[in-house]
Every structure is written in C-alpha cells, then in structure tokens.
Structure 1
Amino acid sequence: MSATDNLPVIQSFDTAVLFLVFNRPDTTRQVFEAIRQAKPPRLYVASDGPRIDRQGEAEVVAEVREIIKNIDWKCEVKTLFRDSNLGCKRAVSEAITWFFESEECGIVLEDDCLPHPEFFSYCQELLQRYASDERIWGVTGNNFQSGIVRGSGSYYFSKYFHCWGWASWRRAWRSYDVSLSYWPEWSRSVDWIEKTPDSVERAFWQNIFNKTYDGQINTWDYQWTACIWRYAGLVATPNVNLVSNIGFGAGATHTTSDASQFAEMEVQSLGSMIHPVNIERDVLADRYTFDYHLEGAGLRFPYNLLRLPLRALSYINRKVFRAG
C-alpha cells in the first residue's frame, strides 16, 4: 500500500460532532459558526450547569444554550443540558461517554477551540481509514512542533493526545476510566517504566497522574492520556496546526494566561492528504512535545548541567551568565 493509495474521495461531511459548551458566549459563537459551515448531520451539544456561587452565571449559561438554536441546515440535534454544575472532570467525560453511546465515532470540539475548515474532513477521513485499526486511538487537530515536519505524510503518529479539537471511536473510549482506578498498580509495574523510559518525563507524568488519581486535579483529559499509554495507542497528529484555542484568559478554567505562546495559534491548510507509509510512533516528535510544549526541557536542565564537563560549564558561564 503506498502513501497515496486511492481511497474514495470524501464528497460530503457526514460525521457526528459533539460540541461542549458552558459559559462563554463570545467563543461559543465563533466555534458554532465553524460547525455551521461544516454542516454535520448530527450535532450533540453538552452543557454543564451554572455554579450556584457565581452570580449571573445562570443567565450566561442560558445565553450560550440559545446560540445552539441557530441551526439552519438539515441536522439531528441532541442535547445534554445539566441543571447543576458537575465540574470539568465529570461534565466533560460523561458527555463524551453519552456521545459515544450513540455514535461509533465522531469529532469533539470545546467552545474555545476554533477549527480550520479542513479539520472536519481531515478527521472524517482518518476516522474512516482507521476505524478497525486498534493501534490508533485518536485523531487530534493540534500541532505543537514549531513548523518541524514529521515524516513524509500529512500527519504522523504520536503517543501524545491533544484535546483542542479531536476525534475518536467508541471502541477506544470504552476503555476510558475517569477515576484512574488502575493507576496505583500500573505505576509500580514494569510496563509503566517501559512505556516511559525517559526518567524526567516519567517523573513529570507520575506527579500528574498521582494528583489526578487523588482528586487534586479536576479534569478529564489526563485520564485519557493515561488510557492511551496503557494500551500503547497512537494518535494521528497533523503536520500543520488545524485548531486554534481562542479561550485563553481570565474566563478560562485551565488556560488562564493570555500571554501563552499557544494562545490563538495560527491555523493552516493541510493540503492534499498524504498518508504515512508506516504506522509507528514518531519518538523525536514526542520528545519535542514533552520538552517544548510541556516545558520538559526546563526540568532536564539541572540534570544535564551536572553531567557537563568543566570546560562546557566554563563556556556557559562566559557566554550566558556574563553576556554583555
């Protein structure tokens, strides 16, 4: 099979979309407009309920829910509107489970993840192509490789999952465990060490998974990352960025700093689809993701400094600490 084998050209978009909304009318309108342009035949909308201690939030949540009524294309709509607030961990994970109870596969977009128009066809083609390939656990629209092209295809395979616009299958999500019940045993296993051979990366994620398991982090996506790693899953990752997070700032739950280099990243056209010849993880890309997207390079610095010869330390001292 060649990288450009003749698969059927997608003539129309017929994949279901789950739209996760809450209390941000401004970003919701922009992302809804992108969905409206794609015209999915089935749209699932899930909204967490307002927090009782936030004055005026009930009205804003109601305003967001009104936006979804502006559907002017042929579309089956299903809603999961919560009366009370469940929080990010339960509201999002339960909404995704609800979605995959009805759909074999589909696309998930949050209210601050603005996709390039090609994001939808990209996801649809890969959902169809890898529907029965249990090595592939997800498709992301995010690229954090700073312009570095990985491989010769339009996308590469990573162990890292990015949630700012993604897609998956019921067959994969059914293994999801929001409580990370398997973590204590898995964290002590040879399998965990083999899957995280980089000691710095392993310590980084061990800390995150410990806090997630203990309930110190109220989120859903770290559990999905752990699940993918546990089963050695791969995530198809585009060689250009297809989704921009427009939700950084004070109103965000997690992305609260609008000074982040990852805020409102530029999106680009993917162009003609070229499929990778081999299905294998790009180890160098994953190392780059950890070092520069997750800032692992900063964690490495003290360890690397201790291993440098005295001549190198002297050079760094002259060039960096005494610059100018």
Structure 2
Amino acid sequence: MALLTPVAFFIFNRPDLTAQVFEAIRQAKPHKLLVVADGARFPEEEEKCLKTRQVIKNVDWDCEVLTNFSDTNLGCKYRVSSGLDWVFSQVEKAIILEDDCLPEPSFFAFCEELLEYYYNHEQIMHLAGTNLIPQPHLNTSFLFSRLVPIWGWATWRRAWNHYDIEMKLWNKYKTENDIYYFGKQANNVYNVFESNYLNQIDSWDGQWAFNCVANQGLTIIPKINLIKNIGFREDGTHTKAASHICSIPVQSIDLPLIKPLETIPNKEFDEKFLEFSNRPNPPSLTKSLKNLVKNWIKKY
C-alpha cells in the first residue's frame, strides 16, 4: 500500500548510505518525495555529491519528486533548516529522514497514522522514530516525552512555524524553572541549548529541540526503536566514531497502534533516555589493548 504522507529526504555526499535509506523509502512508495541536498565544500567533493543526487533518479513508482539542491555548501545548520522551511512551504506534514537514518518498515505507518490522528493537537510538535531505551512491555504503542530525537522523525507545518534558528526565547527561558523538568540532566540540557544559542555548534536540531521545549511541546516516542543510525563513521559530520547510542536494535511496531489515554510526558523515561545518551562510550577492545601494552612498557 502506497504511503500518502510526503517524505522529506536530506542528502549530501554519501551515495552508499543514501542508497540504503532510499531503498527503504522506495519500499514505502510515498506519493510525494521532497529531496534536499547541500553543495560540495571543496572541488574534490563534487563527484560524491553528484553521485549521491543521482540515487534519487531511481524512483520507479508513482511519485511526485521535488528537489531543493544547493549549488554552494550551506553547512548542516543552514542547509537542514532552510530545507525544512522549503519542505513546509510545500506540504502541511512530512516524514523526515537524513541519509544515515535507516527506518524499519513500520516506521512509515507509525508516522502516517499519528500525523493524521494528532493533526490538530497543537501541543504535540514532534514524532520520533528513535528510542534508545526501548520499553517493549509498555501497554501502549508509544509514550509522550519532552525530548526531541531527530533520527527519523515527522512533524507538521503548524509545529515547524515555531522554529527560530536564533533561539530568541532562550535568554528568557533559561531564567525560568522549567529546565529543572529534566532533573539530574538539566545541566546537560542547559549546556546544549547555550552552545547552540552561542553558535558554537554547526547544527539545526538543538534549536528545534529548544523551540519545542520552550513552547511546552510534546514528542511521541515509540515504545521500541524504529530507526538504525548507519552513519557513525569517519565521513560523518557529527558522528565520526562508533557509539553505544547507535547499537540499539530495531523492531517492527504492532498495528493498529494503541494510544495512551492522557498526553502527559514521561519524566522518568526522559531522564533515563538523557542519562543513556550522555553516557561516555566504553573504550574499544583495540584501544584497551593498546593502553595495556603502553602501561606494560612504562612499567618494565
């Protein structure tokens, strides 16, 4: 069955990863595909960017394809944010995937049903596909959260209208007590928002998370993980090394979805999710062996 919800696909310079995620989109067969691409940073990268864009030519189903390709390199912060501005100038709602976010097939049905069901629920601003601490025994299909995971997600134009890349609400918000919702992780959340506000990170998603939080927005998170991040490698923008957060297995979510009776964020879940995501990566076996040898040499 074809997917009625538009899919927005963000690509750059990794044709092999783009092809994997494109194949998942191809299996879902959306009626509309919006593709956003950044330009090369230097001449040697132009061929990779071109090969990546050529992956989209493999659309072989009934699909309207719209493209927004930049001739110059805008960087992560401005390419993704301007791309999403363009997406929501075209459509009212969208499922959003980057080139390294490989969805489990049921992710699309999960998003499509909930985008329609909560279309007019202003407080719900974000649908996530990622759950780093799965809750398989939860008696509903998903929970509500104040976190904003962006490895495979979906939203509406009405929510994206709150996006402010300059985070003008931050100076007022950080004097309020709402940040303490995040408990022991409040300082980590504060530091992420402050770093984005000071433009110390070339990223768009910290601003999106802040605008959701500052507007008391809620996120829907599936009880199990629906997205595998395949981009943790040397050519990643922010994900150059392997991490424990990309090792969570994906599962198919059962349909029809069972919805919670109340739209209340799960504070305990949010703290545990942040604790897990902020946990340092354990040292690799190779690194541990090297350290052992180094210490042995020093000793003897």
Contact persistence 2:95–2:153 (CA under 8 A): yes
Match for residue 122 of structure 1? 110
Distance in 1 of aligned mates of 2:137 and 2:267: 10
Distance in 1 of aligned mates of 2:100 and 2:196: 23
Deviation at 1:203, TM superposition (A): 1.9
1:288 maps to amino acid: K
Match for residue 186 of structure 1? 173
1:161 aligns with 2:145: no
Match of 1:23 among 7, 13, 25: 13
Distance in 2 of aligned mates of 1:108 and 1:222: 16
Greater Cα offset, 205-214 or 169-178: 205-214
Q: Report 1:1-324 matches (<5 A).
A: 12-52=2-42, 55-145=43-133, 147-149=134-136, 151-188=138-175, 190=176, 193-198=177-182, 200-258=184-242, 260-272=243-255, 273-295=257-279
Residues 192-219 of structure 1, C-alpha deviations (whole Å, 9 max, x = no match): x134245642222222222211111110
Distance in 2 of aligned mates of 1:14 and 1:197: 37
SS in 1 for 2:201: coil
Contact persistence 1:14–1:41 (CA under 8 A): yes
1:27 maps to amino acid: L
Distance in 2 of aligned mates of 1:240 and 1:199: 24
CA RMSD of aligned residues (A): 1.5
SS in 2 for 1:15: coil
Contact persistence 2:2–2:29 (CA under 8 A): no
SS in 1 for 2:209: helix
1:42 maps to amino acid: K
Contact persistence 2:2–2:30 (CA under 8 A): no
Residues 137-195 of structure 1, C-alpha deviations (whole Å, 9 max, x = no match): 111100111x434742111001001111000000000010011122122222x2xx134
Match for residue 316 of structure 1? none
Deviation at 1:12, TM superposition (A): 4.3
Q: 1:264 to 1:33 in 2, by over 3 A?
A: farther
Contact persistence 1:139–1:237 (CA under 8 A): yes
Match for residue 283 of structure 2? none
Unpaired stretches in structure 2, ≥5 consecutive residues: 281-300
SS in 1 for 2:193: helix
Distance in 1 of aligned mates of 2:124 and 2:179: 16
Distance in 2 of aligned mates of 1:268 and 1:149: 10
Unpaired stretches in structure 1, ≥5 consecutive residues: 1-10, 297-324
Who wins on radius of gyration, i.e. which is larger? Answer: 1
Residues 60-105 of structure 1, C-alpha deviations (whole Å, 9 max, x = no match): 0000011101110011111011010000000001101110111111
Contact persistence 1:49–1:61 (CA under 8 A): yes
Distance in 2 of aligned mates of 1:257 and 1:60: 21
Residues 94-132 of structure 1, C-alpha deviations (whole Å, 9 max, x = no match): 101110111111100000100011100100000000000
Residues 28-82 of structure 1, C-alpha deviations (whole Å, 9 max, x = no match): 0000000001010010000000002xx5210100000111011100111110110
Distance in 2 of aligned mates of 1:150 and 1:253: 35
SS in 2 for 1:106: strand
Contact persistence 2:163–2:211 (CA under 8 A): yes
Contact persistence 2:68–2:83 (CA under 8 A): yes
Deviation at 1:294, TM superposition (A): 2.4
Overall identity of the aligned pairs, in %:
40
2:271 maps to amino acid: R
2:6 maps to amino acid: A
SS in 1 for 2:57: coil
Distance in 2 of aligned mates of 1:264 and 1:245: 8
Contact persistence 2:37–2:68 (CA under 8 A): yes
The TM-score, its normalising length taken from structure 2, stands at: 0.89
Deviation at 1:262, TM superposition (A): 2.2
Contact persistence 2:182–2:267 (CA under 8 A): no
Distance in 2 of aligned mates of 1:57 and 1:264: 29
Distance in 2 of aligned mates of 1:239 and 1:200: 23
